[in-house]
Structure 1
Amino acid sequence: MSAPAQDELRRGWCPSTLRPMETGDGWLVRLHPPGARLDPTQMRRIAALARQHGNGLVEISARGNLQIRGVKPQAHPALVASLLAEQLVDEHDGQGPQRLTLVSPLAGDGAGRPLSPHPEERRRRVSKDGPDGSGASGSILRDAISKEMAPQDEGSGERIEPVDAAALAEVIEAVVRGIADLPAKTCVVVDDGGALSLDGFPADIRVQGIAGKVAIGLPGAIWLGPIEADAAADVTARLLAAFAAHHRHALQTIRRLRDLPEDALAALVAASGLPRTHAPAPRPAAKRAGLFTGHGGRFAAIIGLPFGRSDAATLDLLCAMAESFGDGDIRLSPWRGIAFRGLRRSDADALLGLGDELGLITDDDDPRLSVQACAGKPACLRAQTPTMADAALLAQAATKLLAGGLTMHVSGCVKSCAHPGPSALTLVGRDGHYDVVIDGTTRDAAFAELDLCEIMTRLQPGQDIHARLVAAGRVTGP
């Protein structure tokens, strides 16, 4: 693997370590750490590489991946060489997803039962499987269904172990990697069903723990199963292989599983051989930052980066303290933060205290957590507004609304890189102003085009934006 030739670069794709994306402040290089896991020393090294080869800015993407900004073309080969040699990234040079799965940053901290067999063995099984469910993988699936449908001893009193979502995600990654023509943005959310809900993240397939088993969620509120967790990777691979076949013949119109025609989705469900089931019970919104109780008397601290961005020096200070504790690991959070795990309570408190001093997000009530913003102008070539600076001002101006549940998306253009889904208030950059969308996405109709000062004024009670949010049921008030 090596750095790409100049003609391989183009804006608008999913960047990676090997194939960066050209932006307004240089190349953007996206990193996918092995197993989505780092330790503090490795994070400090990434911060140092960001200073050495980029402009010193590090971001966490909406899918929980690291990004180094401002890399000069001539510096890229040396950056790639260091990242690969030091095993800071796990990259492949294919066109499919570099990282397919999204898991809780607290998954795999010691809870959950192990899975079997090894991912490489599962990959071999899936490669032998046929479209009709025959073969080894089909056998696993049939066994899983028969176990689920068999009578259960409800009076056994046995403790049901939760699904180890982190381990399951790694098996899925290994099994699915060999599927050709899978779109790069394909996403599988693997949720253990616990308190840290991932319900708010869009996905092509959802694998969710339910009472020690898993249910498979598809677009259109379709849920299948439940099945044994050991079978989930094989089922996911079969569903994604069928989706990739549809995408192969309709590259421009079928890019996500939700794009499948209704009859094609129905056929895919029928071919899975799984019974329909009810949707998992809704859970409260996840706590996104602060102190968390782990397993074995240990704790975790999740510290958010404002709008997903930090300078390398700040990251270095934070991770230097974590490194001094001598234990624990790091997971990247899809809420654009860093989870320091396996800590003593005093160490977790110290990290949160330092994060607060550095201006980072250490409290789940921080209004910045409810505002999504892309890199904006001038960092992005497409952006037409300075979204990061504007988002910070909007978070201050709308603190009470955000505390009451308002969600806001500040996008520099219609592409919606920071947040593809709907928000209560979406602002789309246009010639230095913003198109204002209520309860929609960047591609929905705007009711006004306003500058930042007008938006902040009209967000206040008694003004029209506030009134429209109330009418849409997105905020309370007169």
Structure 2
Amino acid sequence: MSGFTIKGWCPDAWRPMAAGDGLLVRVKPCFSRLSREETLQVCALSRQYGNGLIDVTRRANLQIRGVAEAGWRPLIEVLVNAGLVDPDHAIEARRNILLAPHWTVGDASHRLAVELREKLPELPDLPSKMGFVIDAGDALVLLDEPGDFRIERGESGGLILRAAGREKGVAVSEGEAVGRIIALAHWFHDSGGAAAGRMVRHDAPLPPWAQGDARPAPPAPPASRAQPGPVCAGFVYGVPFSQIEADRLAHAVTTAGATSLRLTPWRLVILEGGSAGEHPGLIADPADPLLRVEACPGAPFCPQATVATRDLARRLAPLMQESLHVSGCAKGCACSRKTALVLTGREGRFDLSRNAHAGDRADISGLHPDHIPALLETR
């Protein structure tokens, strides 16, 4: 399906992306964690320079939405001075590290992330969509999350280095893991990987030292890694459609007494040190039907979408017992996985597909949004 444009890059603070509601400015918190003070500052900046909406991205970052071009430079200056954006454009572009969200200070995942962060200047220039995954806990939680260069726990109990798109990796010690992942990034660069854009699309044979027969460890049960509820560090909350009003996020952090905010790639955040409770704009109930539904911003917030998405998704959520993806166009930005039902916007209407990705061949085409709830009720 055509009709949309693949940008080929992701926004960051130094290279914002224009959306229907203004510029998107991405903030990449160190290890996907913000202190209470940093969280409240980002919320204040969202109100001052943006439209008061904040996205939680699939890479466990934040996006300040609706920034005017005239406000971008002052916003960047504040973020740099706060230590939330690197003053070096190249280093900021390389800070695409997705860390297993339940890391603790000093564990293997944290140690590796600290080392990789310190060695970012050693990396080559890479396409902006590329990223690193560190998932070194006993059970893997990021197997389904995109990342081109991966350090993971292997099924034998040790660490492995694995390139995206390859089922197997090579065993590495903790002491050599970061050096090897940097070397793999250089190999990608030097072997012409930029033309492919992502490791999974780069078909050059891996160098011998990056080839092996080590498989990743089994994944953790989904319920143990991705649902609202209490955890050792605090309480996990869902973020409907990965977006929250800045005022509501600030209110939740303040009233819960949270010491920090930890982000995940699953539309969930952790209020660390905070008490459990109901907070407007966040989901505390793991049975909430909105947790089964993915939806991008849609029209008019995305210039490539021809349909509004999130109001329809809220209407459909109570009707769904399985997963649903409502996508404004065939890009499927909100969800790269197959879902039980996917509605893909096209020329002001929706195509419906079952067990599919956005943009896959439609089972029913040209549905008016108002007719879809009745269709699902009669399934």
| Aligned match of 1:454 | 371
**What secondary structure sits across from 1:222 in the alignment?**
coil
Q: Give the whole-Å Cα distance in 1 for the aligned partners of 2:228 and 2:332.
A: 28
Largest Rg, 1 or 2: 1
Q: Is the 8 A contact 1:190 1:208 kept in 2?
A: yes
The Cα shift of 1:314 comes to 0.2
> Deviations for 1:151-200, whole angstroms, at most 9, x for unmatched residues?
xxxxxxxxxxxxx2133123224435433331111122211334572222
TM-score by length of 2: 0.89
Q: 1:312 aligns with which of 231, 246, 255?
A: 246
Query: Identity over the aligned pairs, expressed in percent?
Result: 31
Classify 1:175/1:424 alpha carbon distance in 2 versus 1 (closer, same or farther; 3 Å): farther
Asked whether 1:411 is paired with 2:327, we answer yes
The Cα shift of 1:212 comes to 5.7
Classify 1:230/1:424 alpha carbon distance in 2 versus 1 (closer, same or farther; 3 Å): farther
Q: 2:315 aligns with which of 393, 402, 427?
A: 393
Asked whether 1:348 is paired with 2:275, we answer yes
| Aligned match of 1:260 | 202
> Deviations for 1:367-411, whole angstroms, at most 9, x for unmatched residues?
22222211111111111111121221221221xx1xxxx322211
Asked whether 1:337 is paired with 2:268, we answer yes
Amino acid at match of 2:199: L
Q: Give the whole-Å Cα distance in 1 for the aligned partners of 2:293 and 2:118.
A: 34
Asked whether 1:228 is paired with 2:187, we answer no
- How many residues of Structure 1 are paired with residues of Structure 2 in the alignment? 371
Correspondence 1:298-309 to 2 at 5 A: 299-309=233-243
Amino acid at match of 1:307: F
- Structure 1: give runs of 5+ residues left out of the alignment: 1-9, 113-163, 464-478
Q: Give the whole-Å Cα distance in 1 for the aligned partners of 2:77 and 2:165.
A: 44
Classify 1:195/1:179 alpha carbon distance in 2 versus 1 (closer, same or farther; 3 Å): closer
Q: Is the 8 A contact 2:229 2:286 kept in 1?
A: no
Q: Is the 8 A contact 1:426 1:439 kept in 2?
A: yes
Classify 1:363/1:306 alpha carbon distance in 2 versus 1 (closer, same or farther; 3 Å): same
- Structure 2: give runs of 5+ residues left out of the alignment: 1-5
Q: Is the 8 A contact 1:44 1:316 kept in 2?
A: yes
Q: Give the whole-Å Cα distance in 2 for the aligned partners of 1:415 and 1:92.
A: 31
Q: 2:97 aligns with which of 86, 98, 101?
A: 101
Classify 1:453/1:195 alpha carbon distance in 2 versus 1 (closer, same or farther; 3 Å): farther
Q: CA RMSD in A?
A: 2.5
Amino acid at match of 2:215: H
Classify 1:35/1:200 alpha carbon distance in 2 versus 1 (closer, same or farther; 3 Å): closer
Q: Give the whole-Å Cα distance in 2 for the aligned partners of 1:291 and 1:86.
A: 31
The structure richer in helix per residue is 1
> Deviations for 1:222-281, whole angstroms, at most 9, x for unmatched residues?
322332222211111111211122345x62xx11111122xx23x43x233x54223422
Instruction: Say which is worse superposed, 65-74 or 193-202, in terms of deviation.
Output: 193-202
Asked whether 1:368 is paired with 2:295, we answer no
Q: Is the 8 A contact 1:304 1:337 kept in 2?
A: yes
The Cα shift of 1:98 comes to 4.1
Q: Give the whole-Å Cα distance in 2 for the aligned partners of 1:174 and 1:417.
A: 31
The Cα shift of 1:111 comes to 5.8
Q: Give the whole-Å Cα distance in 1 for the aligned partners of 2:229 and 2:275.
A: 7
| Aligned match of 2:29 | 33
Q: Give the whole-Å Cα distance in 2 for the aligned partners of 1:91 and 1:338.
A: 27
TM-score by length of 1: 0.71
Asked whether 1:203 is paired with 2:130, we answer no
Q: Give the whole-Å Cα distance in 1 for the aligned partners of 2:82 and 2:91.
A: 23
Correspondence 1:18-167 to 2 at 5 A: 18-90=14-86, 92-94=88-90, 97-107=93-103, 109-110=104-105, 112=107, 164-167=108-111
Q: Give the whole-Å Cα distance in 1 for the aligned partners of 2:362 and 2:242.
A: 26
Q: Give the whole-Å Cα distance in 1 for the aligned partners of 2:91 and 2:371.
A: 43
